[in-house]
Amino acid sequence: MRILNAVFGAAVALAMVSAMPVGAKELKVGLANEPTAIDPHYHNLTPNNAFLASIFNTLILQDDRQRLLPGLATSWKALDSTTWEFKLRQGVTWHDGKPFTADDVLFSFERAPNVPNSPSGFATFTKNKTLSKVDDHTIRVKTAKPHPLTPNDVSQVLIISKAAASGATTADYNSGKAAIGTGPFKFVEWVPSDRLVLERNDAYWGDKPEWSRVVIKPIKSGPARVAALLAGDVDFIDKVPTPDIARLKGDSKLSISQGPSNRVIYLHLDQFRDDSPFVQAKDGGAIKNPLRDARVRKALSKAINREAIVERVMEGVAVTAGQLLPDGFFGVSAKLKPEPYDPKGAKALLAEAGVPDGFKLTIHGPNDRYINDAKIAEAIAQMLTRVGIDTEVETMPKSVYFKRASRGGPDGSPEFSLVLVGWGAGTGEASSPLKSLIHTYDKSQGFGSSNRGRHSDAKIDALIEEALATVDDAKREALLQDATERAIGTLAIIPLHYQVSTWGARKGLSYAPRTDERTLYSEVHSN
């Protein structure tokens, strides 16, 4: 399948609001996934990070291909193998008019990994880094050992105002009280499930957005988003449903922008409990957790027809996956290919593992987070059932799902046995999924923060940690490839496919597709 990485002109009539100044422009957006919070450190989730990037800035920004660009830091350099220096942008003010300084950066990095009840935090980007202030516009980041990806990590942490956020809770951000940023837009209001409203920050340090006001309507239903676009209720939508893409392409009044993302859709399996809560014997009785056996995990992978999922469930708008990132990203292994569909091989492995008749299993997933997520779970359940693993499906809203999947079990452990999840590499290279999804869970070190299967392999851990401390790019890439090959070889996760992102608009608007899937309102332009 050939995916056109192009932006098509699209047609849009922009509504004017009588209360706005003459010449002011409002952008109306239909958004598939609203954020779970306005707190920029509460949940490391793409909808949150994408929306909040309009309000807050990072020290280092990323372009549409995730190449690093100056943000609140104008430059950065390594002073030695464990020390990085960042020069901060001068003359920047917060939305409340207070000046941005190094104190705000130090405060942000201290708070980011410590937000109470975070479903998936930012510790993986902040741990083992000590920040110090040189002067009001210079900071240094000291790492315990060489860490060449320090700039990439820094690009993931949104900077907040120390004055506005001291003592602030997630609820204070959600109400807007603490939502004071340096970004291109100011926060106006959030009415969950109804609207998010932003207004332009005319004092923004960078290029000013052309939109005076952005009104975002959360519309979870794909057909409803398309209908809103067709009716002119919104000007721009994300996540065009796969069945509607051809229709929009063929409508002279509508058009799309489309490109591959770095997000892999995958399965995490319970690999740390002998008694897994959603695994049973065929007769409904207890069974020692078969998912801990690599042969069983391999059988599940062989039982899944990835090509069928891409062609039938995803309407051809996805790419089958054999590892953590698609081709073209740093650390991808040329040796790994998608697992071929082999139901006979799956049954043979189950027999070899001592469960020739299979077992009972429930797959859990979200129904409003990834493209066709509930349909994917249903398709997988049917495929597993065909090889003897009687599989049921339970899906739920992401606001409920991620909390339960991460810490809904005893003592805050992951609740489920088999979960459908996705991961986009925020840093644009393979250490992002490796240290978050594959490395042994270690909260104190910030590793395995999204390792919901609690896979653990000391050899892989050592390879990841060595890669993170290796300055030489070629050597680091080889280590990342080695870690990836071992992780896929032992089925730490089961990769399914990579998403392709699609945005729709009416005539007059354009948007360059981003590999990080983000919808940035300052980058929506009228032609």
Intervals of CATH 3.10.105.10 along the chain: 262-499
Spell out the per-residue pLDDT of the chain, length 527, in tens: 333 333 222 222 222 233 445 456 999 999 999 999 999 999 988 899 999 999 999 999 999 888 899 999 999 999 998 999 999 999 999 999 999 999 999 999 999 999 998 888 898 889 889 999 999 999 999 998 899 999 999 999 999 999 999 999 999 999 999 999 999 999 999 999 999 999 999 999 999 999 999 999 999 999 999 999 999 999 999 999 998 998 899 888 998 999 889 999 999 999 999 999 999 999 999 999 999 999 999 999 999 999 999 999 999 999 999 999 999 899 999 999 999 999 999 999 999 999 999 999 999 999 988 999 999 999 999 999 999 999 999 999 998 999 999 988 888 899 999 999 999 988 889 999 999 999 999 988 889 889 999 999 999 999 999 999 998 899 999 999 999 999 999 999 999 999 999 999 998 899 999 999 999 999 999 98
Intervals of CATH 3.40.190.10 along the chain: 6-39+171-260+501-526
Intervals of CATH 3.90.76.10 along the chain: 56-165
Q: What torsion do the CA atoms of 173, 218, 421, 371 make, to the nearest 10 degrees?
A: -160
Whole-model pTM: value is: 0.78
434: CB partners within 8 A, 6+ apart: 324, 331, 460, 464, 467, 480, 483, 484, 487
CATH 3.40.50.1450 is right for the domain spanning 262-499? no
The DSSP result for 181-228, as a single string, is -SSSEEEEEEETTTEEEEEE-TT-SSPPPS-SEEEEEE---HHHHHHH
CA distance 364 to 381: 10
For tokens 């990037």, name the residue.
Answer: 53
Query: Do you know the residue count of the chain?
Result: 527
CATH 3.90.76.10 is right for the domain spanning 56-165? yes
Give, in words, the CATH class of 6-39+171-260+501-526.
Answer: alpha beta
What's the pLDDT score for residue 21? 52
